[in-house]
A and B are shown apart, each in its own frame.
Chain A
Amino acid sequence: MRRAARLCVAAMPPETDAAPLVLEQLTRRFKIGKRVVVALDAVSATTAPGLVIGLIGPDGAGKTTLMRLIAGLLRADSGNIRVFGTDVAADPLKVQGMIAYMPQRFGLYEDLSVQENLDLYADLQGVAPEARAARYAELLHMTGLAAFTTRLAGKLSGGMKQKLGLACTLIQPPRLLLLDEPTVGVDPVSRRELWAIVDHLVRGQGMSVLLSTAYLDEAERCDEVLLLHEGKLIGAGKPSQFTQAMAGRSFQVRAANISKRALQGALSRLPGVTDAIIQGEAVRMVLDAGINPGIVGESGQADAVITPVPPRFEDRFIDLLKAKAAAMAIEPAPSAKPPAAARAPAAQPGTEIEVSHLLKRFGDFCAVDDISFTVARGEIFGLLGANGAGKSTTFRMLCGLLPATSGSLQVGSFNLRTAAATARGRLGYMAQKFSLYGDLSVLQNLRFFSAAYGLTGAKRNARIDWALREFELAPMRDATSRDLPLGFKQRMALACALMHEPDVLFLDEPTSGVDPLARREFWQRINALADSGVTVLVTTHFMDEAEYCDRLVIMGQGKVLAEGTSESLKSACRDATHPDPSMEDAFVALIEADSARSAAQVRAA
C-alpha cells in the first residue's frame, strides 16, 4: 500500500504551495570532551522548490548536523524543520518517504558488484520488481556506469563510487535530495560529472536538492546558497547576490621588481585590504568597501599594474568573516604580522629534492608509475591530484615511510630510506588530519615533539616558548588537544613540525577542512618559511591552493601529467572556450588529454 502511494507521489509534479525545506530557529548542541559545541545556532531559512540549494561552509560549520536533522537521524534541541509542510520531529517516517539522503561516506558494499549494490538498495527501498528495469537503465545511463555493472564496487574509482552512491540513493526518486559533501576528494572531472547529474535531476525532473560542500568555488554552481560558519547562518541568497556585493573591489596586482610573496605580504598589511592571496605570479587583492585601488602605492609599489577582476564567492565569505570578527572586536587573524625569520634568509640556491624514475607497486597495482621531478631549495612545490592519483604514496616515499619499488629519491644529499636517523632531523612533517596526541595537552605535545627531535634544556624551552607565542597557543596550553577546534589543531601540528627548525617541510593536505581565514593564515606562515630558505613540499586537492605554489606537478593514475608553474599550466590549456582558464580547467584538460591518449594506445594495440 505504502509503496504504491510513494510511487504515486514521486510521479506527481512537485507541489508548489509547500516549500521543500523550512527551518525555524534550529539549534543543536554537542558535547565534545569537556567542550560544548553549538553545531547549529538558531538557523532559520526557507527554500524554493526545484532548485539546487548549496549548504556552504568549512568543516565544523554544522553542515552534516543540519543534513542529519533534516533526515530525522538526529533531534534538534530546539526549533522546527518542515519538509514539504511536514514537521520532521512529528512524523519522521513521512518525511523519510519524501527525501533521499546520501551521507559523506555512502554505505556501498565493496564486495558486491555495481548491479548487486543497486539490487540491494532497490530491495531496501521496496522498489517493485516490474519497475526496476526501467529505473536501473535510467540511473546507469545518467551516471555513466552502464558499462561497469559487473565490476565490484570496491574496484571503482573515487568518482565512480560517488556516482554509484548517488544512483543507489536515487533508486526511489525523492522529492528532496540531500547530498552531504558529494564532491570532496573527487577529481575535478568526476566533480563536473556529478554536477551535471545534479543539474539534470533539478532541471529535468524538478527535484529539489540540498547539497553541502566545503569548496567555495562550487557555490557559484548553486541556485541559492546558505552560508554556514561555526553553526550560524551568515548569509543566504543567490550566489550572484554574494558576488555583486563585492563588485569593483577585486583586483589583480602585478609588480615587476618585487617577489610575489613580498608583494602579497605588503598588500595584506595595508589597512583597507580585505584579502590578498597569491595567484600564479600575481596577487589577487580584495579591498574594503569604498577603498580606492590607488592605496597599493602606499605599500611602496607605485608602479604596480592593477587590473580589476570579477569578484568571487570566496571574496564575500572573507568579507563577512572579517566583518564578524571586527564586530566582536577581536583581531581577525594573526596573519598580518609576518613570522620572524628564524634563520639566515635565502639559503644557497640548489636542488633540495630529486626524484627520478620512482615506481611503487602494490601487487599488480602500480600506484606510482615512473615519475621524476626536482624541487629547488626554498621553493614551495605542490603535488596535485585527486584521491587515488598516487600523490600520497609519492609523499610517503619521500618522507621515508614507504619503500620504493624502484627508482631513486634524494632529499638534500640523503636517501631517507637508508639515511641515518639524524638525516630525518632535517625535515618536518605535518600529516593529514593533523595527527597529534589527542589525549595530551598542547604543552605536552610540544614537549614530546621537541624532545623527539633531540632538543634539550634551554634550547628546548626556548622553542616551546617560541611555538606558544608564534602560534598563539599560550591561552590553551593546558587544554586537551583532542577538544581543540580544527584551526587550532592545524596550528599546533605546524608548530610541532617546526620545533627543530627543519630545512625541508612536508605538508600532507595541510588545509583540508579549515576555514578560509585559517587557510590564509597558514599560507602566510608557509610563505615566510619559504622566504627564509625552507623547502616546502605540499600535497593538496584544492585547485586554488595550487596557485600558492612556485611550481607543481599534477598527478593522475600514478603518472605526472604536467609539471610547471601554475601560470604555465593554465596558459597551456588556453583556447577559444577557455579564454581565462582556471587551475581546475587546466587539470580537467590534462586528465581528458591523458584518457584520450590511453584510449588511442588501446586502439593502436
Chain B
Amino acid sequence: MLHRILALIIKEFLAILRDAKSRMVLIGPPLIQLVVFGYAASFDLNHVPFAVYDQDRSVAAQDLVAHFTGSPAFTEVASLKSDHEIKSLINSRQVEMVLVIDPRFSRDLLTGKAAPVQVIVDGRNSNTALLILGYANAVITAYSQRWAATHGLPSPPAQLDPRALFNPNLDSHWFIIPGIVALLTQVVTLLVVGLSVAREREAGTFDQILVTPMRPLDILLGKSIPGLIIGLAEGSVIILATVFWFKVPLHGGLAPLYLGLLLFVFSVTGIGLMISSLAATQQQALLGAFLFMVPSIILSGFATPISNMPVIVQDLTWINPMRYALVIIRRSFLEHPSFTSLLPQYLPMAALALVSLAAAGWLFRKRAV
C-alpha cells in the first residue's frame, strides 16, 4: 500500500515538474506577489504633497513649515496667496493637505497664548486622511515642545512619549511581508491540490486510477502529500526571502513558525481536495479555488484588522485557517512566542485540518467510486 502511494506521489511530482505550465504556477505568481507586496504594499505615507497658506509670514511660521518639509512624510508643492485656492488644489488632488497658518500665529505664540494652526485634509480616502492628521499632529507637537524649550516656557503638563515595541520604527513592511508567507502558501497549495484531480478527470486518467486496486484513501494520500510538500517548500522560500531580502527579523525561531505552517498547509490541502473532488473540470476547480481564496484573504486580518469587522463577520473568521496562520507567523517573526501562548491558534487550525481532510475524504469516496 505504501508502495502504491509512493508511486502516486512520484507521478504527481513528475506531472507537475515536467509540465511547463504547472512549473509556472509554482514560480510565477509567488514571485510577482512577493515583489508587489514586498515593495508596493505599505501602510506608511511618504512624501504627502501639501500646500501652505501662510497668512502670518513670520519667522515662527516659516519655522513651522520647515518642520513639515523636513519630515520625510511631507513634501511642499505649493504656497498659496488666498484661501479660495485651497478648494481647487484639493479637488484636483494636487495636494492631500493644506496647512493654514493664522495671521495672529506669531503674535499669539509670543504672548504665550494658544496659537491656532488649521490643517485641511482630503477626506475622500478616510484611511489616508487619518494617517495624515496623525503625522501632522506629531509634527506640530514636536514644534510646540521645541518652542517651549527655546523660549523658556513650561512644557505642556502631560506629554506623550511614544515607544513601539517589536517594531520600533513602526515599519509596516514588518507587518505585511510575514503575512505574504501565509498568503502565498495558501495560493500555491490550493492551486496544486485543487487542480490535480480535475486535471486527471479531464484527461480521463482518473478513471484509469480508479480501476486499479488503489483505494480512495490511497489516492487521497497520494494527492495530498505532494501538495503538503510543495506548500511547505513554497512557504520556506518566502520565509527565506522575508528574512534575507526584506530583512524582517525572525525573533521567534523556526519551531513555532513551522508547526503553524504545517498545520496551515494541512488544512488548506483538505480544502483543496474538497474543491478537487467536487469540480469536474479544471475551470470549475479554478473558480472554486478563487471563490474560497478571496473571502479567506479578506477575512484573515491580512490587511484589515479582524477586530474592526462586524461581529457576525468576526464569527465567520473562526473557520478560516489563514486567520490563525497569520497570527502564528506574525508573532513568530516579531516576538518570542511560547508554545502555550500559540495553542489557541494551533488547536483550532488542527481541528480545521482534521475536518477539512475528513470531509475531502468523504466527498472523494462519494464522487469517485
User: Once the chains bind, are A401 and B207 in contact (CB under 8 Å)?
Assistant: yes
User: Once the chains bind, are A427 and B19 in contact (CB under 8 Å)?
Assistant: no
A46 within 8 A of B: no
User: Once the chains bind, are B7 and A451 in contact (CB under 8 Å)?
Assistant: yes
Among the listed stretches A67-75, A78-86, A357-365, A438-446, which one makes contact with chain B, having 4 or more residues with CB under 8 Å of it? A438-446
Q: In the complex, what distance in Å separates the CA atom of A451 from the CA atom of B15?
A: 16
B4 within 8 A of A: yes
A269 within 8 A of B: no
B215 within 8 A of A: yes
Q: How extensive is the interface on chain B, given as a class?
A: 20 to 34
B310 within 8 A of A: no
A581 within 8 A of B: no
Q: In the complex, what distance in Å separates the CA atom of A399 from the CA atom of B207?
A: 9
Q: With A440-B15, A452-B4 known to touch, is A421 a contact of B214 (CB < 8 Å)?
A: yes
Max chain A C-beta neighbours (<10 A), residue from B204, B213, B369: B213
> Scoring A residues 428 to 440 as 1 if CB is less than 8 Å from chain B, else 0, what string do you get?
0101110111111
Q: In the complex, what distance in Å separates the CA atom of A417 from the CA atom of B6?
A: 25
Contacts of A456 in B (CB 8 A): 3
B150 within 8 A of A: no
User: Once the chains bind, are A453 and B203 in contact (CB under 8 Å)?
Assistant: no
Q: State how many angstroms separate the Cβ of A499 from the closest Cβ of chain B.
A: 10
Q: B15's contact among A422, A437, A506, by CB below 8 Å, is which?
A: A437
Q: B3's contact among A431, A439, A454, A480, by CB below 8 Å, is which?
A: A454
Q: In the complex, what distance in Å separates the CA atom of A400 from the CA atom of B204?
A: 15
Q: In the complex, what distance in Å separates the CA atom of A432 from the CA atom of B18?
A: 24
Contacts of A506 in B (CB 8 A): 211
A424 within 8 A of B: yes
B14 within 8 A of A: yes
User: Once the chains bind, are A440 and B11 in contact (CB under 8 Å)?
Assistant: yes
User: Once the chains bind, are B213 and A424 in contact (CB under 8 Å)?
Assistant: yes
B209 within 8 A of A: yes
Q: State how many angstroms separate the Cβ of A89 from the closest Cβ of chain B.
A: 33
Q: In the complex, what distance in Å separates the CA atom of A435 from the CA atom of B10?
A: 18
Q: With A429-B208, A448-B7 known to touch, is A453 a contact of B14 (CB < 8 Å)?
A: no
Considering only CB atoms and an 8 Å cut-off, how many residues of chain A contact the other chain? 33
Q: State how many angstroms separate the Cβ of A47 from the closest Cβ of chain B.
A: 38
- Residues of chain B in range 206-233 having any CB-CB distance to chain A below 8 Å: 207-215
Q: In the complex, what distance in Å separates the CA atom of A451 from the CA atom of B211?
A: 13
Q: In the complex, what distance in Å separates the CA atom of A447 from the CA atom of B3?
A: 12
Q: B214's contact among A432, A439, A452, A496, by CB below 8 Å, is which?
A: A452
Q: State how many angstroms separate the Cβ of B2 from the closest Cβ of chain A.
A: 10
Q: With A400-B211, A439-B18, A444-B14 known to touch, is A432 a contact of B6 (CB < 8 Å)?
A: no
B205 within 8 A of A: yes
Q: With A439-B14, A451-B6 known to touch, is A424 a contact of B212 (CB < 8 Å)?
A: yes
Nearest neighbor of B20 in chain A, beta-carbon distance: A439
A308 within 8 A of B: no
User: Once the chains bind, are A451 and B4 in contact (CB under 8 Å)?
Assistant: yes
B198 within 8 A of A: no
Q: With A437-B15, A440-B18 known to touch, is A448 a contact of B213 (CB < 8 Å)?
A: no
Known: A423-B213, A447-B10. 5 other contacts (CB 8 A): A421-B214, A425-B212, A432-B204, A451-B7, A452-B209
22 sample A-B contacts, Cβ–Cβ < 8 Å, listed by A number: A400-B210, A400-B211, A400-B369, A401-B369, A417-B369, A422-B213, A429-B211, A431-B208, A435-B207, A437-B11, A437-B14, A437-B203, A437-B205, A439-B22, A444-B11, A448-B7, A448-B10, A449-B208, A451-B7, A452-B4, A453-B212, A454-B3
Binding site for B on A (CB under 8 A): 396, 399-401, 417, 421-425, 427, 429, 431-433, 435-440, 444, 447-449, 451-454, 456, 480, 496, 506
